[in-house]
Amino acid sequence: MRRILIIKHGAFGDVIQSEGALHDIRENFPDDEITVLTTPPYRRIFERCPWINSVMVDPRAPRWRLDLMWKLGRQLKARNFDMVYDLQNSPRTASYFRWFFQSTNWSGTAPGVSHPHSVKNPKRMRSLDRMASQLKDAGLTIRHTRRPDVSWLADDVTKLLADEGVTKPFIVLIPGSSARHPQKRWPYYAELARRLEADGFQIVTAPGPDELELAADIPGITLKGPRGFINWFELAGVMKQAAFVIGNDTGPSHLAAHMGVPGIALFGSHTTAERTGIERENFTAIEVRELPALPVERVLDEVHLRVEPIRTPYRTSLQ
């Protein structure tokens, strides 16, 4: 039995997108032991993933803390990995190769890695294509990498929705983003919510602990649950039952897209939708130079084009 390590530190949207790559690695190594090295916020997500056997946590200590770095190195070396797939491909993980894995088969694209098994791909490739190219260059058969499916993340939230008074059809709005990137936040969700409520939709927001203020002025129901906020698994369950999702370029939007939920993501000039890989059969994007210049009417028109065909089945199910 071979021992395989996959490195994926984050962020949340990137973790979601790596699901198809993990699935492909499992299919290529059906009877081998697969471990993921990740950071504390994503441990529980990977522990639920059906394609891996175990999870190791990397605290991402400052690299000047040599004592902690060598502690991590000892833990990794003790597992005697036969192959490492670096899906993070960052300067940090490139340093792990140089410090801990130079005698181990390695697949990665990080700068500074020079190894017979390393791969060099264009930096500006679409993220899903980049992972597919990396795994293909490493000799794997690829079937799922470009089509991640994280439906297994969803909890049954029937009781949560009932307790909060949510009824179908409802639309989920995602007004937040990483606090480090406020330029990703479209400022008109409150007005959009009012317009959608006038169309007969119930509006739901599910902010994280640091996004409660953003959702406070948006009409509709703010899902908080008994803890004051809902976790990733509950959020996936809510989105699974939504008629539509509208959000910024942020992790929860990627979650909806890669569960097959219909929706729209709103992009400014910070990056392109194509590069993020968020667009799917049911999930699209609106791209503008500056998000504050994107009018509510344009978003509403796009919603009407996509939501109307699926409103009737919801109403029928409630009769």
User: What pLDDT was estimated at residue 182?
Assistant: 84
Mean pLDDT, residues 50-62: 95
Residues 22, 105: Cα–Cα separation, whole Å: 17
Residue type, 308: E
Domains in the chain with CATH codes: 3-149 (3.40.50.2000), 156-318 (3.40.50.2000)
Q: How confident is the model at residue 123 (pLDDT cuts 50, 70, 90)?
A: low
The pLDDT of residue 211 is above 90: no
Q: What angle do CA 280, 284, 285 make, to 5 degrees?
A: 135
One-letter identity of residue 85: Y
pLDDT per position as a tens digit, 134-157: 999 999 999 999 999 999 999 999
The first and second tokens of residue 81, run together, are 């990995």
Residue, of 130 and 125, whose pLDDT is higher: 130
What DSSP assignment string belongs to 175-218?
A: ----TT-GGG--S-HHHHHHHHHHTT-EEEE---TT-HHHHTTS
Q: pTM value? A: 0.88
Q: What CA–CA distances, in Å, run from 179 to 70, 90, 134, 210? A: 32, 21, 31, 8
- CA-based nearest residue to 171, from 242, 104, 109: 242
